[in-house]
Amino acid sequence: MSSILFVTWDGGGNTPPTLGIADELRARGHQVQVLGHPDQYERFAEAGLRFTTYPTARPFTSRTPHSTTTLLGVLADRAMGRDVRAELEARPADLVVVDCVLFGVMDALRQDERPYVVLEHSFDSYFRRAARGPLGLLLRLRGLRPMDLIDHGEPVLALTLEDLDAGHGDVVHTGPVLGGTVRPAPAHPTEPTVLLSLSTVAFPGLTRTWQRAVDALGGLSVRVVATTGPALDPGSLRVPANIELHRWLPHEDVMPQVSLVVGHGGHATTMAALAHDLPVVVLPVDAKTDQAFMGRALERAGAGRGLGRWSSPATIRAAVVQLLGDGPHREAAARIGGRIRDLDGRLRAADILEELVGNGVQQASEERAE
């Protein structure tokens, strides 16, 4: 069997799809190595994957608030590229799979004329738009051209639905790769129930957004299950009586029992909701990410509502009441959900990577270097 190196980072929603694909390849008998940040260790190790942390790259955790400068430092960190080179020298790999925002890593591999596969954990069209914005400009000032590096991937795997990815480039859409081990099925709640889950990442202002959301849902004649994740102290919230507040619950266990998801627009949570035929109200918590972009995509598809970042409790409540009812939004969510289940992005992505290894990617790399 072949050896495959996954290069990742502690970005929150990027971890579940990387873990899913890596675990599938390990189950098929391949030797899988993962290089990432320390806070990711436990999740990969629990799956039986060999995980190594960056020996020299700057530390980073999604559990604490970070500035744009700090985030940019991770995305453009050339020390990561040097660490990947050292890892490949110590343990050569037949295939290297890189997270789509690790531009310092991609730049090092491109300089070495080493082929790499890019994993995009959201819409390709979003990354192309972001590359034309302030973040792309800051990266170019550091000598990194983000879309050139992404498009150099052989291939670029967009772990999402092509139907929702309007304006995408030359990428291969695998379908979403969901977290968890249980195959999703349409939800069948026994009572009107809302899942509220806003982010595992400590975005600035997260507590204020959470408070507006629980204020909006308080007093409604529905059951509300709220999962705060590691970035928020549940004790910092005033919680109405109809809301069950949990630090963590497996969404694969909760979503089959709910009628609607209120989320921040993270790709992983949104696709998991749709895979259960659930409409989604998107309440973004950060303007620099794909969250608002996700909300607009769901509105175009008719499967949800995209709200503004600073929406009032009254606005959030009105959107929830609307989507709790029957209507075309439920039919749209069910159509998308059926498509996600039919594609099974985890298996499709693993098939593609396995085929690349079988076609002699390493041999092609050596020939290119001669």
DSSP state of 144: -
State residue 204's pLDDT score.
Answer: 78
Residues 6+ apart with CB under 8 A from 163: 301, 336, 339
> In the predicted model, is pLDDT for residue 362 greater than 70?
no
Give the angle 203-340-75 at the CA atoms, nearest 5°. Answer: 35
β pairing state of 304-306 and 280-282? parallel
Token duo for residue 250: 């497996």
State residue 89's pLDDT score.
Answer: 97
Cβ count within 10 A of residue 127? 25
> In the predicted model, is pLDDT for residue 361 greater than 60?
no
State residue 200's pLDDT score.
Answer: 72
> In the predicted model, is pLDDT for residue 186 greater than 70?
yes
Q: Which of 28-42, 58-72, 189-203, 243-257 has the highest mean pLDDT?
A: 28-42
| Percentage of residues in the chain having pLDDT higher than 70 | 97
Coil, helix or strand at residue 116: coil
Cα torsion for 170, 175, 180, 181, to the nearest 10°?
A: -120
Residues 6+ apart with CB under 8 A from 315: 216, 307, 308
DSSP β-bridge partners for residue 224: 194, 243
State residue 369's pLDDT score.
Answer: 41
Q: Output phi, psi for 197, to 5 deg.
A: -150, 115
What is the set of domains in the chain, with CATH numbers?
3-179+344-369 (3.40.50.2000), 193-343 (3.40.50.2000)
pLDDT digits (tens, 9 = 90+) for 139-155: 999 999 999 999 999 99
Burial 319-358 (b: 16+ CB within 10 A, else e): bbeebbeeeebbebbbebbebbbebbbbebbbeebbebbe
Query: Rounded distance, CA 104 to CA 364, Å?
Result: 23
Q: Output phi, psi for 177, to 5 deg.
A: -105, 110
Cβ count within 10 A of residue 313? 15
State residue 360's pLDDT score.
Answer: 58
| Residue scoring higher pLDDT (306 or 230) | 306
Mean pLDDT of 70-82: 95
**The residue type at 70:** T
Classify the C-alpha dihedral 292-40-361-161 as positive or negative: negative
Mean pLDDT of 154-166: 97
pLDDT digits (tens, 9 = 90+) for 86-114: 999 999 999 999 999 999 999 999 999 99
State residue 370's pLDDT score.
Answer: 42
Query: Rounded distance, CA 53 to CA 83, Å?
Result: 9
Band of pLDDT at residue 268, cut at 50, 70 and 90: very high
| Residue scoring higher pLDDT (236 or 6) | 6
